[in-house]
């Protein structure tokens, strides 16, 4: 591998980021919330965590924090519970706007999209991407509402496009080219770069890299062999210079759900009921995407700050909610609970497509769990989630409710 210059190609990658997504959608839906300090919290209780705040709240320093801490900063802040279906609808309409311009639209989260204009009709017809960006801003206001704003970044690769989209918030539009990289990096801190967390910052600092400009000027050999000690260093060398290394989409490897227990408990029957509903949510996602699994995992966090996790693999496939629940409860039965359970996490792994379906000896009999599961899923698809549920889930409508996904949008 040899040292590479900056990527001098015309910027064709656009990153579009909906500003303060959940908060601004709530403000768009309710005029009385506009120009006010609001926070959308996973739970509206004092210990609930704010997952999105309006720009009016952000200007006061209210970002990702507990509700009680936000109220100390602004006693008048309006705290709202999430409305997932409202955000999912906005995501779908957001995507439809972008797909008017090109088919190469990749959702990165519920409020972020990568739009690749390489080879698109608009570029071939001579449209300037900056003009296209402003047209997209107008279209989004027309479709999502006049209060909604987005930030747009345009660059030669996904990384720099995201960097550009993070500048001049809210409602900004910025372009990064090879000639402007040094100027942009000179305005930022290491933690402003997407993908740089505290752990990576420490690694870089130990190598005498303290700023994005230091990072850019570091030789490839140093990044690969001294800082990251793997090919990751080479990827960062390319990424910083505008070359694409992030376009590959990772395959799905598992499905899971978790739940923060409000009433901490050591009651195994109560824990099993939570596991049943988590099994139904996870099983529905597994089947909706056309998979079956060969492994299950159960993780429990306790009030004494300890954590215990157990997993098991199977030769036979796991498809139905009842199968998933049965295996998870067996894991629960062998766990020693040192204190009250405060958090439950389950997942299925070693997944594979369900087609072709291997026939069972019990197909067509009363022991045919796969057919029963498919029939139950069809009813729930038609009449609403949890219309038909196992008896153990009775009266759990308001427990482990639907939440907004972070990152993955495969279930929208």
Range from 186-190, 287-291, 407-411 carrying the lowest mean pLDDT: 407-411
Each domain of the chain, given as residue ranges in start order, spans: 7-185, 187-249, 255-393
Tens of pLDDT, residue by residue over 64-113, are: 899 999 999 999 999 999 998 899 999 999 999 999 999 899 998 888 99
- The whole-model pTM stands at 0.72
Phi (first) and psi of residue 330, to 5 degrees: -65, -35
| pLDDT over 70 percentage in the chain | 84
Which of 359, 230, 222, 351 has the alpha carbon at shortest distance from 296?
Answer: 351
pLDDT band, residue 122 (cuts 50/70/90): confident
Residue 288: which pLDDT band, with cuts at 50, 70 and 90?
Answer: confident
pLDDT of residue 364: 47
Reduce the DSSP state of residue 24 to 3 states and report it. Answer: helix
Reported as a single tens digit per residue, the pLDDT across 198-246 is: 999 999 999 999 999 999 999 999 999 999 999 999 999 999 999 998 8
Q: What is 187-249's CATH number, 1.10.150, 1.10.8, 1.10.1200, 1.20.140?
A: 1.10.150
Helices (H), 198-260: 198-206, 212-217, 220-222, 231-240
State residue 289's pLDDT score.
84
Please write the tens of the pLDDT for every residue from 353-378: 877 455 444 444 444 566 666 666 66
Task: Label residue 317 by pLDDT band (50, 70, 90).
Answer: confident
Q: In which band, very low, low, confident or very high, does the pLDDT at 2 lie, cut at 50, 70 and 90?
A: very low
Contact (Cβ atoms closer than 8 angstroms) between residue 27 and residue 40: no
Respond yes or no: is residue 378 known to be catalytic.
no
**Assigned fold of 7-185:** Alpha-Beta Plaits (3.30.70)
The CA–CA distances, whole Å, from 200 to 35, 71, 159, 331, 406 equal 37, 33, 16, 36, 22
Catalytic residue (one of 26, 72, 99, 112): 112
- Residue 10, classed as helix, strand or coil, is coil
* Cα gap 353→364, rounded to integer Å: 22
% of the chain residues with pLDDT over 90 = 62
pLDDT at 56 over 70: yes
Is the pLDDT at 119 greater than 70? The verdict is yes
Q: Maximum CA pair distance of the chain? A: 70
Q: Where are the beta strands (DSSP E) in 206-306?
A: 255-265, 291-302
Mean pLDDT, rounded, for 245-263: 79
How many helices (H) and strands (E) would you count in the chain? 15, 13
- The architecture in CATH of the region 255-393 reads 2-Layer Sandwich (3.30)
**Burial of 412: CB neighbours in 10 Å, binned 0-12, 13-18, 19+:** middle
């Amino acid at each position: 591998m040899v040292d590479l210059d900056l990527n001098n190609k015309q910027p064709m990658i656009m990153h579009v980021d909906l500003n303060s997504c959940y908060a601004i959608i709530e403000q768009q839906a309710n005029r009385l919330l506009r120009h006010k300090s609001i926070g959308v919290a996973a739970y509206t209780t004092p210990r609930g965590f704010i997952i999105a705040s309006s720009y009016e709240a952000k200007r006061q320093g209210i970002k990702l924090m507990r509700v009680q801490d936000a109220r100390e900063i602004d006693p008048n802040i309006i705290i709202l519970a999430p409305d997932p279906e409202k955000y999912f609808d906005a995501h779908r309409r957001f995507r439809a706007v972008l797909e008017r311009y090109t088919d190469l639209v990749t959702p990165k989260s519920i409020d972020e999209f990568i739009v690749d204009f390489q080879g698109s009709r608009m570029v071939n017809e001579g449209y300037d991407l900056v003009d296209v960006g402003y047209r997209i801003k107008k279209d989004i206001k027309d479709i999502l509402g006049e209060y909604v704003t987005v930030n747009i970044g345009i660059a030669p690769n996904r990384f720099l496009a995201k960097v550009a989209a993070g500048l001049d918030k809210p409602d900004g539009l910025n372009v990064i080219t090879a000639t402007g990289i040094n100027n942009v990096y000179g305005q930022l801190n290491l933690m402003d770069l997407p993908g740089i967390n505290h752990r990576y910052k420490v690694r870089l600092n130990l190598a005498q890299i303290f700023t994005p400009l230091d990072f850019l000027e570091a030789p490839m050999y140093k990044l690969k062999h001294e800082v990251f000690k793997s090919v990751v260093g080479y990827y960062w060398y390319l990424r910083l210079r505008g070359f694409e290394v992030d376009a590959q989409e990772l395959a799905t490897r598992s499905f899971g759900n978790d739940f923060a227990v409000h009433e901490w408990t050591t009651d195994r029957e109560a824990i099993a009921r939570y596991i049943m509903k988590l099994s139904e949510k996870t099983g529905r996602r597994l089947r909706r995407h056309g998979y079956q699994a060969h492994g299950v995992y159960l993780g429990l966090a306790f009030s004494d700050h300890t954590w215990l996790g157990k997993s098991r693999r199977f030769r036979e496939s796991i498809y139905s909610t009842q199968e998933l629940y049965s295996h998870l409860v067996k894991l629960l039965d062998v766990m020693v609970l040192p204190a009250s359970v405060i958090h439950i996490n389950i997942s299925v792994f070693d997944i594979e497509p369900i087609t072709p379906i291997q026939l069972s000896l019990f197909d067509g009999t009363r022991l045919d769990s796969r057919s029963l599961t498919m029939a139950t899923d069809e009813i729930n698809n038609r009449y609403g989630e949890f219309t038909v549920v196992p008896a153990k889930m009775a009266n759990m409508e308001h427990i482990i409710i639907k939440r907004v996904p972070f990152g993955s949008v495969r279930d929208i």
